[in-house]
Structure 1
Amino acid sequence: MKIVIADDHPLFRSGVRNLLGTTDDLVVVGEASSGDEALDLAAALQPDVILMDIRMPGLNGIEATRLIKERYPRVEVLVLTMFQDDQSVFTAMRAGAKGYVLKDADEPELLQSIRMVGNGGAVFSADIASRMIHYFAAPKAASKPEHPALAELSKREMEILERIAEGETNAQIAARLFISAKTVANNISTILNKLQVADRNEARRLLKESREQ
């Protein structure tokens, strides 16, 4: 099983590489220190699994995962990170990651997770699985009627509109959703067009008024 390690910490990559070197079925074919490098290696090497950190310079791990799954769907991604907040977990899943394991996982758990994802399964560390169960078991607030134009927005566009309503800048939205500032700007342009409003202030006002109905 061909593995690529994508993490901006050389010592961590070295530790994982040494661990995989003790196995007979997992071989490290490449290492990346950024999301851009991970994307390039996915194209050049077509690995079975990419171990993907979230926070890396340049293209972050979430956006890299999204692009890899769009372009090379057979390449699986296992997120290996220190971040376990809901936003990171669910954004990674929406991007197409098949697993989410914390860096403090023990060696047998990590090896088993890599093999499961490489064989088409999905895997989450115990802490993450517990968080997901709690999230989906929690009662959801009753939805309020919304302006018809809001129904035209995609899930991602609605996420960005919600962040606009909170007064966040493009840079803040990009950091929260693990996407590039350019992607945020492109989505905002589409949102304004679909809602037929002139600027983000009008979009914010439309959302607020629809929620007050």
Structure 2
Amino acid sequence: MFRSGVRNLLRTTDDLEVIGEASTGEEALVLVESLQPDLVLMDIRMPGMNGIEATRLIKERHPLTAVLILTMFQDDQSVFTAMRVGAKGYILKDSDEHELLQAIRMVGNGGAVFSSDIASRMMHYFSQSPVVPAEDPTFSELTRREMEILERIAEGDSNAQIASKLSISNKTVANYVSNILNKLQVTDRNAAKRLVQMTREE
């Protein structure tokens, strides 16, 4: 019903055209492959593949296709994970018609847009000091994703919690953790956590 309302709204405009609709992440990937849209409006919770994972795959395979998240979820983890996988905007389903159309046009033209309350939380989040001191030479061999995993380890998250927060599988997390331990030359995650604490204290 919500998708029907959005479709009808877009049909009232002269500069926007709906060329496809999907009800799952898997369907979205297939349609993006065949239709090559300029922009995808993406929800987060869907049957099967969620919107975060679908966004990640779309941006990997079709970097020129912009993704705008349109959802009812406004928790920090959903917002920041969506940004990390390549979403250029994040607005809520209770946004008015003008805000939605403005967001679509802005992201479609290469910009980025976020609902006002989400933008405020983002400013607060990025003003905080990171758990892991990324510029420390101790961590110079780690990739961006490995740094992200290490930060979650330093916060005390289990593999399952990391997998849930980053929308990846437990096996993928385990592989990342193994790589991190090898690169840091430590024996376990507790040693990695202590290493982070030591570098922050220096």
TM-score range normalised by the length of the shorter chain = 0.7 to 0.9
SS in structure 1 of the partner of residue 83 of structure 2: helix
* Residues 126-137 of structure 1 aligned to structure 2 (within 5 Å): 126-136=116-126
Closer/same/farther in 2, CA of residues 45 and 196 from structure 1, 3 Å limit:
same
**Percent of aligned pairs sharing the same letter:** 72
The alignment's TM-score, normalised by the length of structure 2, stands at 0.83
User: Does residue 12 of the first structure (1) align with residue 9 of the second (2)?
Assistant: no
What residue is the counterpart of 2:149 in the other structure?
160
Pick the aligned partner of 1:73 from 55, 63, 77: 63
Hey, what's the Cα distance between the residues in 2 that align with 1:135 and 1:89? 11
User: Does residue 26 of the first structure (1) align with residue 48 of the second (2)?
Assistant: no
Q: What one-letter code is carried by the residue in structure 2 that aligns with 1:40?
A: V
Hey, what's the Cα distance between the residues in 2 that align with 1:76 and 1:145? 28
User: Does residue 186 of the first structure (1) align with residue 175 of the second (2)?
Assistant: yes
- Name the structure where strand makes up a greater proportion of residues: 1
User: Does residue 41 of the first structure (1) align with residue 34 of the second (2)?
Assistant: no
Cα deviations by residue, 1:176-211 (Å, 9 ceiling, x for unpaired):
123333432332232122123344344334334444
Hey, what's the Cα distance between the residues in 2 that align with 1:142 and 1:178? 20
- Confirm or deny: 8 A CA contact 2:132 2:196 kept in the other structure: no
What residue is the counterpart of 2:74 in the other structure?
84
The alignment's TM-score, normalised by the length of structure 1, stands at 0.79
- Confirm or deny: 8 A CA contact 2:132 2:154 kept in the other structure: no
Gaps of 5+ in 1: 1-10
Give how far 1:148 is off.
4.3
What is the aligned residue count? Answer: 202
User: Does residue 108 of the first structure (1) align with residue 98 of the second (2)?
Assistant: yes
Hey, what's the Cα distance between the residues in 2 that align with 1:132 and 1:207? 24
Gaps of 5+ in 2: none
* Residues 138-149 of structure 1 aligned to structure 2 (within 5 Å): 138=127, 140=129, 148-149=137-138
Cα deviations by residue, 1:86-111 (Å, 9 ceiling, x for unpaired):
33222222221111111110011111
- Confirm or deny: 8 A CA contact 2:154 2:196 kept in the other structure: yes
**CA RMSD across the alignment:** 2.8
